[in-house]
Structure formats: structure tokens, C-alpha cells
Amino acid sequence: MNLKAVEAHAPQPPLTKRKVFMYQKTDLPNGLRVVSYEMKDRDSISIGIWINAGGRYEEDKVKGAAHFLEHILFKGTKNYSCEAIKELIEGVGGMLNAFTSEENTCYFAKVPAKHLNQTFDVLADMVLSPLITKEDVDKERGVILEEIKMYHDLPQHFVLELLDELVWPDHPLGKNLAGSFETVGQMSEKDLQGFHRGQYISKNIVVAACGKFKHKDLLKLVTRKFRNQAKKQTESFLKFENRQNSPQVKLFRKDIEQMHLALGMHGLPYDHKDKYILNLLHVILGANMSSRLFDEVREKRGLAYAIGSSVKSLQDTGLFMVRAGVDNKKIVEAVKVILEELSKIKKENVTKDEFTRAKDYYLGQILLGLEDTLEHMLWLGESVTALNKTRTLKDILKEVKKIEISDIRRVAGQILNENHFNLSVVGPLAESQEKDLRRLVGVSGS
């Protein structure tokens, strides 16, 4: 298939360009941003087109539209059929994928560097000129409904959906990204076309790329393809206000062989001054096999096969979570031990050795990830879509070096607040277990 490269003959407004350490970032006049990192010693290039609009930008009646639209964009565009989209990238040894999150949708590919032009044209056409036909929407509806059923059948995923409902009640963040049977069931091609028109606009778009290429060459591709996109006003999202003042529990009985639990607390937004401290707290508590929770819950007591913590940051809120899969008969004991570990880290400073290992692990994981063009692109794209700025490893190293042992205890006291505990559990719970879990978390009543 011939590529449809269109030359720009009209005079173009000046671009604003500046180098940010090892990264290059260019802001186009229409608001679209291009950020890149040239990795000359690699043979690949990873490129992503980020849309700064995800599940939290949806109205209730079209909940799941961002995710639905992500599926539909693979079905065909003005210049490429569904088959061509896949073949032009996979046919040269590349990979093509996409994801939808609360705040972003990203379409990305990793290919041998010489195929940059073709790959970018395919991705850009998906974002700019999707067909969004009734036939494709009706067909894909069934696929997404099956996806929702699949995740409901997977307790390790369903427990997270229950947790979101507790942490962000009556808010778009607390509702399933894929939507519900009702919203997906009635979603029309006009709904998706409207969401595309409203959200896939230049000010919401970031093109991020890492690998063997020149920033100026990428910029030419972006300018040619997106030059006709007008500068429109972006739509805001509903901000979240945390009003939780007491612990909450949501229990779901399901006849399965293992209990799945998720204990979540409100975390920190992207740009919070304590975000790196919280990341170190996560490393110490549950990021790896050396962590406190893994050692205490699994190694010493044998209560769980899987146990760990995680951190999620959004523009105005966040989540710190502990999750585990435990023996059906040991759910109460497991939660008790987890709570004891959370209490301990609030009362006593971590050791110097533990603190040093946490710093080294955190920085080492970032360094290892940035060696890969795809991971580096995802890191870069997320930073610019969330903060409109880049972060280098040098920047992070500088901030992490400032952290003191006492900071871990301080942030633990703020985040691991018993009044902000949210516990969700999926499994064959007995009434006595339900009562014990509520009591442990501090929830009164049956």
C-alpha cells in the first residue's frame, strides 16, 4: 500500500523548541507536543501517540467510551484497512498495541528503526482518521462485553474493581474503565464519533519516541500529518475530593479456591513533593522478594503465594495498595499480619541498611527500564501527558538523595491512615470471617 505523505506548502508558524537535558521537546502552534530521546546505539524505535483523555473524562451514559474507541481504531482508517494496520507493522518484525487508563489512551509500536515513516503514518492515521462504522461498533461490542465478563470471572482483577468503588465513590475513577453491560450495550457509533471529536484534539496529543532516529525527522512527520488540526479548547475532568473519614470494607462471596484481597489508601498525585518518598515506602513494604510484606506474610508464615504493594498517581489524586492471594482459611490472619506491618512502619524508623537498599532498588529499576526503547518511550510519554515536562534519571537521583530515613516514617503516617483504609475481598467467605475482617479494619456493624 502506498503511503499518503502530504507535503506542507503553506508557510508554517514558528515552533517553540527546547532541549531538556537528554530529551528534546517541541510544542507545535496547535498545542500538540513532540518529545523524543535519540538512542543511537539501538536498532529499534518505539513510538507512541498519547491522547490525554481516558476513563475519567467520560459521562456516565458513555462510560467505557475511551476503551471502546481504542478497540475501534484498529478496525480501519481512511487510508488503511484493519488487515493493513497490523501487517504493515507486524510484517516488518514490529509489535503494535494500545492501552486505555484513567487519564490517557496510547497507541504505540516498536519496530526496526528503518520503518519509522511507515509506522508513524499508520499510527497517526488511526488517531486522525478512524472509520468508526456501525458495523464495526456492533461487532466489537460483543468482544468488549466478553472482556468485561472475563475480568469479572478473574477474582484477582475483580477485587481491584471493588476497591476502586470504595476509594473513589460516585466518581468516574471508581467506575470500570471498560464500562458496564448497560453502557457498552447501548454505545453507538455516534457516541464514539463524538468522543473522538471532543477528545482527540491537538492540545490533548503527545507524540513520544525513543530509539535510533533524529528528532528533526520525527518532527517533519508529525508536522505534515497533524498540520491541519485546529487548536481547540480541551475539556476538563471532574476533580476528586477525598472526604473519607472512616475505614470501609466491600466483601464479595465467590466459590473459588483462593481468597483475593486488596487494601487501598489514598495516595499522592503526580507532582506531589513526597512522591519519591512514597515510592521508597512501597519498595520497603512490598515491591520485591526482599520487602517486609513478602518476607513476613509469605516467607515466614506461608499465608500467601502472591503478596505485594503498588503505587498509582493521577493528576489530582492517587492510590497506595497492598494486594494478595491467600489460603481460604487464612484470610483473617493474613489481613492481621498486613495491618501489623503497616502499623510497625509508622511507629519505627526503617534501618539504614533497609533504607539504602530501597533507594538502590528504586533507582536501579528505573535505570534498567530506560535501557529499552519501549519502556523509555512509555516513561517519557506519561511524564509529558501528566506534567507537560520531562524527568531524567539525573533529576530523580537528585530528589531521592534528599530523602532521609525520618521521611519514610512521616509519609507512612500520612498515607497509612487507619481512617482511610479500604478493604475489598473476593472469595468463599464465611460469616465469621466477614465479621473478623470488619473488626480488624475498624468497621462496625455486620
Q: What is the pLDDT of residue 323?
A: 98
DSSP reduced 3-state for 353:
helix
Query: Which residues in the chain land under pLDDT 70?
Result: 1-21, 445-446
Q: Report the distance separating Cα 315 and Cα 172, nearest Å.
A: 14
Residue 327 has φ and ψ, to the nearest 5°, of -60, 135
CA 156, CA 324: separation in Å to the nearest integer?
8
Question: What pLDDT is stored for residue 2 in this prediction?
Answer: 34
According to the model, what pLDDT value does residue 219 have?
97
Cα Rg of the chain, angstroms? 23
| Residue type for position 68 | F
Q: Do residues 330 and 338 lie in contact, with contact meaning Cβ atoms separated by under 8 Å?
A: no
Q: Among 9, 96, 39, which residue's Cα sits nearest to residue 215?
A: 39
What domains can you pick out in the chain, each with its CATH number? 16-226 (3.30.830.10), 248-441 (3.30.830.10)
Q: How many residues does the chain have?
A: 446
Q: How far apart are CA 303 and CA 326, in angstroms?
A: 6
Task: Output the pLDDT for position 22.
Answer: 83
**Range 439-445, long-range pairs (CB < 8 A, 24+ positions):** 440/332, 440/335, 440/336, 440/339, 441/247, 441/249, 441/335, 441/339, 442/246, 442/247, 442/418, 443/246, 443/247, 443/248, 443/249
pLDDT of residue 445: 61
Residue 219, C-alpha cell as written in the block: 518532527
* Residue 430 CB partners (closer than 8 Å, separation 6+): none
Is 70 part of the annotated catalytic residue set? Answer: yes
Task: Please write the tens of the pLDDT for every residue from 169-199.
Answer: 999 999 999 999 999 999 999 999 999 999 9
In whole angstroms, what is the distance from residue 438 CA to residue 427 CA?
15
What type of residue is 107? Y
Contact by Cβ (8 Å): 143, 96: no
Q: Spell out the SS3 assignment of 304-315.
A: EEEEEEEEEECC
Burial label, 304 (beta-carbon count in 10 A; 0-12, 13-18, 19+): buried
Q: Give the span between the Cα atoms of 358 and 352, in whole angstroms.
A: 10
Percent of the chain at pLDDT exceeding 90: 91
**Amino acid present at 129:** S
What percentage of the chain's residues is helix, strand, coil (to nearest 5)? 50, 20, 30
Give tens-digit pLDDT for 294-319: 999 999 999 999 999 999 999 999 99
Q: What is the DSSP string of 116-178?
A: HHHHHHHHHHHHH-B---HHHHHHHHHHHHHHHHHHHH-HHHHHHHHHHHHHSTTSGGGS-TT
Q: Which three cell numbers stand for residue 334?
A: 493474613
- Pair 383, 396: CB distance under 8 Å: no
Q: Which of 266, 269, 283, 263 is nearest to 403 (CA)?
A: 283
Give 201's DSSP letter. S
Residue of 70, 161, 354, 382 marked active site: 70
